[in-house]
Amino acid sequence: MSNQVSEGSPPPLKIKGRMEIEYTWSLGRLGTRFFEAIRTERRLLGIRCPSCRGVLVPPLPTCGRCFAPMSEWVDLPDTGMATSIVPYLLEYPGQALKPPIIFAKIRLDGADSSFTHILGDIPPGPLPQTLRVRARWRAERIGSIEDIVCFVPGSTC
Ligand SMILES: [Zn+2]
């Protein structure tokens, strides 16, 4: 008898399981200030590079363009431009939101970077390539990017 795996061997057995993992993730100094401003003041902050003057949202400790340490906080409006607008249609167990969901990259006015979020109030039909949007805030905030329910068409609150 051989211990070699060969053609014709039965497929390996599989066991189904379920894993839940609880974890805590530190937001760090910059993330803490960014999310505290969202939670306590419903305010969005960017951080400006002292070298190239680029503004990043969410904040990062180092500029992605010139690698300078970031230092200057700037207030940003909750309006901007949605780009890379794509629908998400697949359902899977445990999903927080039921499809269809429309994702987009959001570049706040005055920012030089963008972040992914959800679009709301989009009428059925072909999706635009770009769209002026504003944030729709939750009434009760916890200090999370989900304190913004979604971004909706328009530029006034
Ligand atoms: Zn820079």
Who contacts 59 (Cβ-Cβ below 8 Å, separation ≥6)? Answer: 30, 31, 33, 34, 45, 46, 47, 70, 73
CA of 45 from ligand 1 middle (Å) equals 17
Å from CA of 56 to ligand 1 middle: 9
45-98 pLDDT, tens digit per residue, is 999 999 999 999 999 999 999 999 998 999 999 999 999 999 999 998 888 889
* Average pLDDT, rounded, for the chain: 93
For ligand 1, the distance from its centroid to the CA atom of residue 18, given in whole angstroms, is 44
Domain boundaries, the chain: 28-153
- In this prediction, residue 68 carries a pLDDT of 97
- Tell me the whole-structure pTM to 2 decimals: 0.83
What pLDDT does 2 receive? 54
Can you list the alpha helix ranges (DSSP code H) found in the chain? 28-41
Distance from the alpha carbon of residue 69 to the mean position of ligand 1, in angstroms: 8
Q: Is the pLDDT of residue 157 over 50?
A: no
- How do residues 16-36 score in pLDDT, each as one tens digit? 999 889 999 899 999 999 999
Which residues neighbour ligand 1 (ion) by CB within 5 Å?
49, 51-52, 54, 63, 65-66, 68
